[in-house]
Structure 1
Amino acid sequence: MFASLVSIASLMLSTVLMMIGYGLMNYLIPVRSVAEGWTPFLISVIATGYTVGFTLSCIISPKLVLRVGHVRVFSALITLLTASILISSLVVDWRAWVVFRAISGFAVAGCYLVIESWLNERVTNETRGSVFSIYMMMTLAGSIGGQYLVPLGDPLNTSLFIVCGIVFAIAILPTALSTAQSPAPIAQVQLGLRKLYLRSPVAFVGAILAGILSGTWSSLGGVYTTQSGFTTGQGATLLAFVLAGGALGQIPIGRISDLTDRRYVMIACGAIGVIAAIAMFFMSPSTPKLLYGSAFIVGSMLYPIYALNVAYANDRADPSEYITISSSLMVLYGFGTVAGPLIGGGAMEVAGPRGLMIYLAIGFAFYASYAGWRVMRGNPSVSPDDRADFHAIAVPMRGTDPAGSIAVDYEAEYDPASQNE
């Protein structure tokens, strides 16, 4: 275990730095957008630029890695990420920000792909779970730490944007200067959306709904806190509780789902999510403890449900199909993250910031209802011996998977020398 951590120490350090910048960026952008007087719908359009770039990167970035290698791609993407946040401080226009956020989404997804494929190769089967748990905790700590940088500056000037760019730029150094050997090229897989639906309609629909829910909160949570009268410190704390719930909630949900029909767990998660979202609708910054507790519960349902879909789909697949199915689920999840913020932004424009809670409650209700409907149709459950293991998925919004990567039908030439940076 210790040897595995030493071999990836520089990569972990780069990851923490990148996530600090990510947390700062994802809270700074909506706070500044609200300060500019942009409507929730316009802010949701900006957020959609990020999710579109993120989803496209899941398809394009593997091809880039095949051509020039992990380290070069990581360095190039961090450079794009740095440029996108710095130029956002110079050109403050929502139309331009759609493009800048698309660039940042593309870069973040590609960085995740490089980091996770690298980690996956460096660990053994015996240490994989422990190492990825540490990775998940570090991404969480970095993201939360970045959010708490916002109260230390003024979102209305360029200082926080510059700090964010500096953090991103420094994130290149540990990996670029590491002497560790780069991982082997990423395996190419086929997308199989039709096969996935035939195997598991619950996982197919659930992945879209999971993307809608998590993509909406990740994109508009900062808008909700700002328009609801939170200080930046209170807003950072609320967002931190949602992320903490997402990380810690995966442990009990995963264990329970390994012991029973996962569809029952999906129904329970959706129902609890509805109750927690409605509770947040009736709360305000004047009741912080109750609000933070409800936010923790929302997060503990919001993020683990995607991992539930992955596990349920794998229950009904052959081992040789795991990567194809996981890749297909990620594409569906990406579609959800694109559509979710647009609808959520419209809901906030009509009903105010608390409209986001109504929207989340409806999304959770659909998630629970569809799983319940499939149970009522009499589809048999998978026996415990045939169930795949539940694997926690790191938060925040994910677009890659430790088990493999997305690659559509293309032929790429691979030069072994390019992997020896």
Structure 2
Amino acid sequence: MLASLVSIASLMLSTFLMMVGYGLMNFVVPIRSVAEGWSTFTISVIATGYTFGFTISCIVTPRFVKRVGHVRVFGALISLLSVGILLCALMVDWRAWVAFRFISGFGIAGSYLIIESWLNERVNNANRATIFSVYMITCLVGSIGGQYLVPLGDPKTTYLFVLCGIIFALAMLPTALSSAKSPTPIAQAKFDLPKLYRLSPIAFIGSLLSGALSGTWNSLGGVYTQNVGMNTAQGATLLACVLAGGAISQMPIGRISDLIDRRIMMIICGIVGVFACAVMTIFDAQSIVALYVAGFFVGTVLYPIYAINVAHANDRAAPDEYVTISSGIMILYGLGTVSGPLVGGALMQIAGPSGLLWFMTLSFAFYAGYAAWRMARRKVGEGRIEKCDFQAMPLPLRGTDPGTRAIPNPGDQPA
């Protein structure tokens, strides 16, 4: 086990530094947008540039990796991350920022594609849980650390943008200088959305909703903290609480969903999300502690529902369909991340900061309601081949190779 951890040490250091930059970038950009006086809808359009780049990268980057290898493409994508955030400092115009955020989204998704496929090649049945736990903790700590860098500078200046660009550039060094063996090229994967819907309608709809939920919060959560009057330290803490909730709850929720009908867990997650968002709406910034606690519970269901969708679809798929199914789910998730911020931003423009929470409340309610309706339409076990084991997944937004993420290892399947 120690040898396995040592073999990925440089990769984890690169991941940590990249996540520090990611956390800083995703907080400083919306704060600067608010400071510029741009409308909430305009900010949501900027966020859509990021999520669109993220989705495109999930489709395009594997082709580059197949052609020139992981390390070279990783270096190119890290360069794009630095370029994207530094351009935001050089040209402060929301129309230009849409393009710059597209570059950032493309870079971060492709970088995660490479990291996660690299990890998948290093894991086996004996160390899978440990390796991915280390990965998730690295992502969480790095992202939270980056968010807490924001209070150290003034978002109205170029200082934090330049710092973020430097951190991204440093993230390439550990991997570039590592003597560890590079992974084999990524295999291409096709997706079949009609087949996915026929196989699991709830995974189809649930993937769109989970993308809309996480994409909207990740893009506009920083705007929400500013609009309700929180300072940068308080805003960073709220975002950290949501992330921490998602990291802590993934395994418990996943293990319970292994024991019961996963749709029951989907319903429970939707209900918890509705109540937690409602509590956040009631308290706003009037009670910071209550907002932190409610945000934590939002996180406990905001991120794990994607993994439940994947597991439910794979329950009904044959082993040779895992790649196709996971590819389709990822594309749907990406479409959700593109559309969610636009709708959430429009509601914030109309109803104020609470519009974001109302959008999330309605999305959670629809998620739970659709799962309940599907339970009435299809009985437990109907159409199921074998129930696979739940696998915890890193926090969205994440890009990955459709053929390597969230696909149960055939060796893990019960005989």
Work out whether the TM-score is over 0.5: yes
Mapping for residues 77-96 of structure 1, pairs under 5 Å: 77-96=77-96
**Residues 1:121 and 2:121 are matched in the alignment:** yes
**Residues 1:330 and 2:334 are matched in the alignment:** no
Does the C-alpha gap of structure 1 residues 300 and 401 become closer, same or farther in structure 2, counting only changes over 3 Å?
Answer: farther
**Residue in 2 aligned with 1:110?**
110
**Residue in 2 aligned with 1:216?**
216
Q: Which runs of 5+ in 2 are unaligned?
A: 407-415
Mapping for residues 277-288 of structure 1, pairs under 5 Å: 277-288=277-288
- Asked if 2 retains the 8 angstrom alpha-carbon contact of 1:24 and 1:143, the reply is yes
**Residues 1:14 and 2:14 are matched in the alignment:** yes
1:85, distance to aligned residue in structure 2 (A): 0.6
**Residue in 2 aligned with 1:32?**
32
Mapping for residues 172-187 of structure 1, pairs under 5 Å: 172-187=172-187
1:190, distance to aligned residue in structure 2 (A): 1.4
Deviations 1:13-36 (A, max 9, x none): 000000000000000000000000
**Residues 1:258 and 2:258 are matched in the alignment:** yes
- Asked if 2 retains the 8 angstrom alpha-carbon contact of 1:120 and 1:402, the reply is no
User: 2:285 and 2:401 mapped to 1: Cα distance?
Assistant: 36
3-state SS of 2:188 partner: coil
Deviations 1:303-331 (A, max 9, x none): 10000000000000011111211111000
- Asked if 1 retains the 8 angstrom alpha-carbon contact of 2:263 and 2:372, the reply is yes
**Residue in 1 aligned with 2:412?**
none
Mapping for residues 261-280 of structure 1, pairs under 5 Å: 261-280=261-280
**Residue in 2 aligned with 1:143?**
143
Deviations 1:178-198 (A, max 9, x none): 111110010112111111111
**Residue in 1 aligned with 2:99?**
99
- Asked if 1 retains the 8 angstrom alpha-carbon contact of 2:188 and 2:403, the reply is no
3-state SS of 2:171 partner: helix
1:399, distance to aligned residue in structure 2 (A): 2.7
- Asked if 1 retains the 8 angstrom alpha-carbon contact of 2:40 and 2:346, the reply is yes
User: 1:389 and 1:398 mapped to 2: Cα distance?
Assistant: 21
User: 1:250 and 1:385 mapped to 2: Cα distance?
Assistant: 24
User: 2:49 and 2:384 mapped to 1: Cα distance?
Assistant: 41
- Asked if 1 retains the 8 angstrom alpha-carbon contact of 2:216 and 2:337, the reply is yes
Does the C-alpha gap of structure 1 residues 402 and 278 become closer, same or farther in structure 2, counting only changes over 3 Å?
Answer: same
User: For residue 353 of structure 2, what is the amino acid of its counterpart?
Assistant: P
User: For residue 372 of structure 2, what is the amino acid of its counterpart?
Assistant: G
1:275, distance to aligned residue in structure 2 (A): 0.6
**Residues 1:400 and 2:405 are matched in the alignment:** no
3-state SS of 1:249 partner: helix
- Asked if 2 retains the 8 angstrom alpha-carbon contact of 1:315 and 1:387, the reply is yes
Deviations 1:236-290 (A, max 9, x none): 0000000001111112110110000000110110011001101100113231211
- Asked if 1 retains the 8 angstrom alpha-carbon contact of 2:50 and 2:104, the reply is yes
Deviations 1:357-392 (A, max 9, x none): 111000000100100001112433369992111111
Q: CA RMSD in A?
A: 1.5
**Residue in 1 aligned with 2:227?**
227
**Residues 1:369 and 2:369 are matched in the alignment:** yes
User: For residue 261 of structure 2, what is the amino acid of its counterpart?
Assistant: D
User: 1:70 and 1:385 mapped to 2: Cα distance?
Assistant: 35
User: 1:393 and 1:219 mapped to 2: Cα distance?
Assistant: 20
- Asked if 1 retains the 8 angstrom alpha-carbon contact of 2:189 and 2:403, the reply is no
**Residue in 2 aligned with 1:204?**
204
User: 2:376 and 2:260 mapped to 1: Cα distance?
Assistant: 16
User: For residue 6 of structure 1, what is the amino acid of its counterpart?
Assistant: V
User: 1:60 and 1:402 mapped to 2: Cα distance?
Assistant: 11
User: For residue 95 of structure 1, what is the amino acid of its counterpart?
Assistant: R
**Residue in 2 aligned with 1:415?**
none
3-state SS of 2:283 partner: coil
User: For residue 35 of structure 1, what is the amino acid of its counterpart?
Assistant: A
User: 1:216 and 1:5 mapped to 2: Cα distance?
Assistant: 34
**Residues 1:161 and 2:153 are matched in the alignment:** no
- Asked if 2 retains the 8 angstrom alpha-carbon contact of 1:140 and 1:244, the reply is yes
User: For residue 400 of structure 1, what is the amino acid of its counterpart?
Assistant: T
1:221, distance to aligned residue in structure 2 (A): 0.2
Question: What is the TM-score of this pair, normalised by structure 1?
Answer: 0.94
User: For residue 257 of structure 1, what is the amino acid of its counterpart?
Assistant: S
Does the C-alpha gap of structure 1 residues 378 and 120 become closer, same or farther in structure 2, counting only changes over 3 Å?
Answer: closer
User: 1:405 and 1:122 mapped to 2: Cα distance?
Assistant: 13
Does the C-alpha gap of structure 1 residues 136 and 327 become closer, same or farther in structure 2, counting only changes over 3 Å?
Answer: same
Identity of aligned residues (%): 63
Question: What is the TM-score of this pair, normalised by structure 2?
Answer: 0.96
Does the C-alpha gap of structure 1 residues 73 and 405 become closer, same or farther in structure 2, counting only changes over 3 Å?
Answer: farther
User: For residue 63 of structure 1, what is the amino acid of its counterpart?
Assistant: R
Deviations 1:66-122 (A, max 9, x none): 111100000001011101111110100000000000000000000001111111112
User: 2:320 and 2:399 mapped to 1: Cα distance?
Assistant: 21
Q: Which runs of 5+ in 1 are unaligned?
A: 407-421
- Asked if 2 retains the 8 angstrom alpha-carbon contact of 1:214 and 1:302, the reply is yes
